[in-house]
Structure 1
Amino acid sequence: MIDPADLTHCEEAIRTGSLSFHAASKLLPGNVRDPALALYAFCRLADDAVDLNTEKSAAVLSLRDRLDLAYAGRPRNAPADRAFAAIVEDFDMPRALPEALLEGLAWDAMERRYDSLSDLLDYAARVAATVGAMMCVLMRARDADTLARACDLGLAMQLTNIARDIGEDAQAGRIYLPLDWMDEFGVNPAAFLADPQPTPAVRRMTKRLLSHATRLYLRAGPGITALPLSCRPGIQSAQLIYAAIGQDIARAGYDSVTRRARTTGGTKLWAVAKALSLTGAGMVMPRSAVLFAPPSPEVRFLVDAAAKTAPVHQQRPAGLLATLRQLEAKDRSRRGLIVQSEPPIT
Structure 2
Amino acid sequence: MVSIFLLNEEKTQTIAQRLESAYQECEIISKNASSSFYRSFRHLPSVKRKAVNALYAFCRRVDDIVDGDWLPNIDLSFLNEEAERRIEELSVIHDTEPANKEPGHTNRVKALLWFRMNLDKIETGEQIDEPIFLALADSVNRFAIDLVHLRDLVSGMEDDLYKINYQNFEDLRQYCYRAASTVGLCLVEIYGYDDPNARRHAVEMGKYLQMVNVLRDIQEDLDRGRVYLPLEEMAKFGISKIDLHDEKLPQTEGWQEFMRHYLDHVLAHRKNAIGLLSLLDKDSRYSPSLMCAAYDAILEEAMRRNGDVLTRRLKMGLYRKLQFALGMIRKPRINLFSGNL
Shorter-normalised TM-score: what interval? 0.7 to 0.9
1:20-53, Cα deviation, whole Å (9 max, x unpaired): 3112112222221110111111111111111226
Counterpart of 2:282 (choices 206, 226, 229) is 229
Whether the 8 Å contact between 1:152 and 1:219 is mirrored in structure 2 is: yes
Select which of 312, 317, 323 maps to 1:259.
Answer: 312
**How far apart are 1:194 and its partner, in Å?**
5.8
Amino acid at match of 2:166: Y
Q: TM-score, normalised by structure 2?
A: 0.73
Correspondence for 2:216 = 164
Distance 1:59 1:243, change over 3 A: same
Residue 191 of structure 2 corresponds to residue 150 of structure 1: no
Cα 1:106/1:11, change in 2 over 3 Å:
same
Asked if the contact 2:51/2:139 (under 8 Å) is kept, the reply is yes
Aligned residue number for residue 45 of structure 2 = 29
Q: Residue 235 and residue 184 in structure 1: after superposition, are their counterparts in 2 closer, same or farther (change >3 A)?
A: same
| 1:164–1:245 Cα contact (<8 Å) kept | yes
Match status 1:187 vs 2:247: no
- The yes-or-no answer on 1:42 pairing with 2:49 is no
Alpha-carbon separation, structure 2, partners of 1:91 and 1:197: 50
Q: Work out the CA distance in 2 between the residues paired with 1:113 and 1:142.
A: 39
The correspondence of residues 168-179 of structure 1 with structure 2, limited to 5 A, is: 168-179=220-231
Percent of pairs identical after alignment? Answer: 28
Contact in 1 for aligned 2:277/2:288 (Cα 8 Å): yes
> Per-residue CA shift, 1:188-232, capped at 9, x if unaligned?
22x236656543334443443333222222222222111111111
Structure 1 residue identity aligned to 2:161: A
> What is the number of equivalent residue pairs in this alignment?
276
Q: Which residue of 1 aligns with 2:77?
A: none
- Unaligned runs of at least 5 residues, structure 2: 1-15, 70-103, 332-341
Aligned counterpart in structure 1 of residue 175 of structure 2, from 123, 146, 153: 123
Decide whether the 8 Å contact of 1:197 with 1:257 is kept in 2.
no
Q: Which residue of 2 aligns with 1:81?
A: 133
Cα deviation code 1:276-316 (max 9, x no counterpart) = x88xxxxxxxxxxxxxxxxxxxxxxxxxxxxxxxxxxxxxx
C-alpha separation in 2, matches of 1:7 and 1:97: 21
Alpha carbons 1:114, 1:177 under 8 Å: kept: yes
Q: Which amino acid in 2 is paired with 1:36?
A: V
**Aligned counterpart, 2:33:** 17
**Contact 2:164 2:225 (C-alpha < 8 Å) held by counterparts:** no
TM-superposed deviation, 1:91: 1.9
Amino acid at match of 1:133: L
**Which is further off, 231-240 or 104-113?**
104-113
Larger-gyration structure (1/2): 2
How many Å apart are 1:108 and its aligned residue?
1.6
Give the drift of 1:250: 1.9
Shift of 1:140: 3.0
- Do 2:215 and 2:314's aligned partners in 1 also have CA atoms closer than 8 Å? no
Aligned CA-pair RMSD: 2.4
Work out the CA distance in 2 between the residues paired with 1:197 and 1:60: 39
Residue 259 of structure 1 aligns to a residue whose secondary structure is: coil
CA distance in 1, matches of 2:138, 2:298: 33
CA distance in 2, matches of 1:155, 1:250: 19
Deviation at 1:179, TM superposition (A): 1.5
Residue in structure 1 matched with residue 5 of structure 2 by the alignment: none
Residue matched to 1:241: 294
Does structure 1 retain, via aligned residues, the 8 Å contact 2:160–2:226?
A: no
Contact 1:23 1:268 in 2 (8 A): no
Higher RCO structure, 1 or 2 (CA under 8 Å, sep 6+) = 1
> Post-superposition shift, 1:156?
0.5
Measured after TM superposition, the shift of residue 59 of structure 1 is: 3.5
Mapped partners of 1:203, 1:59: distance in 2 = 40
Which amino acid is the alignment partner of residue 66 of structure 2?
Answer: V
Name the CA distance, whole Å, in 2 between partners of 1:106 and 1:260: 25
State whether residues 203 and 254 of structure 1, in contact with CA within 8 Å, keep that contact through their aligned partners in structure 2.
Answer: yes
Kindly state the Cα deviation for residue 239 of structure 1 after the two structures are TM-superposed.
0.5
d(CA) in 1 for partners of 2:231 and 2:153?
Answer: 23
Indicate if the aligned counterparts of 1:115 and 1:178 stay in contact, CA closer than 8 A: yes
Q: Please report how far the alpha carbon of residue 183 of structure 1 lies from its aligned counterpart in structure 2 after TM superposition.
A: 1.5
CA distance in 1 between partners of 2:174 and 2:314 (Å): 25
Report the 3-state secondary structure (helix = DSSP H, G, I; strand = E; otherwise coil) of the residue aligned with 2:181: helix
Structure 1 unaligned blocks of 5 or more: 279-346
Pair 1:134 & 2:171 matched: no
1:29 alignment partner AA: P
